[in-house]
Copies of this chain bind each other. A is one copy, B any other.
């Protein structure tokens, strides 16, 4: 079969996007190449025309997932008037829709544990993606503080948001899950608004 000039690039892009969703939904370990390629409308043998190994796909998919999250959080912040970006960020991150759709959500919350066991090739795009997201949050903090202080606080608030989202997904009771989301938003906001020391 002879294809259009950009056909292969397009296929590559589709596989990465699909993988970034599957990895977030099922975890890195649970995604097989055969079902993945089948979902993309292909057979498994073609995989190695696009990637040298499964690990290369993981690295690309992590980057893609965090880029999506960065974009959607940046949009949520950009949509509201000056000064309301902090609440917009927190509300966009910690809500029941994000809890229920990990496949479209933050790859940090979905994959951070598995990242700890991955080689540098995979951890690098992860680290960069997380830092970019935390930087957006740092920009929404109240004025004041040094750049380092602002990043430290943003990392703290982001850790809280990520941890609370994970707990809301894992707890064995719908009421407890909602309570974690709601109190998480309040506590994150309180910490983010703490005066600079």
Binding site for B on A (CB under 8 A): 26-27, 29-30, 102, 108-117, 120, 123-124, 126-127, 130, 152-153, 155-164, 166-167, 169-173, 176, 179-180, 183-184, 186-188, 190-191, 194
A191, chain B: closest CB distance, angstroms: 5
Q: How far is the CA of A106 from the CA of B152 in the complex (A)?
A: 23
Do B116 and A113 touch (CB < 8 A)?
A: no
Write 30 A-B pairs (CB below 8 A) sorted by A numbering: A27-B29, A27-B114, A27-B117, A29-B30, A112-B166, A112-B167, A112-B170, A113-B169, A115-B169, A116-B169, A116-B170, A124-B172, A127-B173, A127-B176, A153-B187, A155-B167, A155-B183, A155-B184, A156-B164, A156-B183, A156-B184, A156-B186, A156-B191, A157-B187, A158-B163, A159-B163, A159-B164, A161-B163, A162-B163, A162-B166
Q: How far is the CA of A114 from the CA of B159 in the complex (A)?
A: 18
**Max chain B CB contacts within 10 Å: which of A157, A163, A169, A190?**
A163
In the complex, which residues of chain B have a beta carbon less than 8 angstroms from the beta carbon of A108? Answer: 167
Q: Using A120-B172, A152-B186, A155-B187 as known contacts, list a sample of 11 further A-B pairs with CB atoms less than 8 Å apart, ordered by residue number in A.
A: A27-B117, A112-B167, A113-B170, A115-B170, A116-B170, A124-B172, A130-B171, A155-B180, A156-B183, A163-B164, A190-B194
In the complex, which residues of chain B have a beta carbon less than 8 angstroms from the beta carbon of A117? Answer: 26-27, 30
In the complex, which residues of chain B have a beta carbon less than 8 angstroms from the beta carbon of A159? Answer: 159-164, 166-167, 180, 184, 187
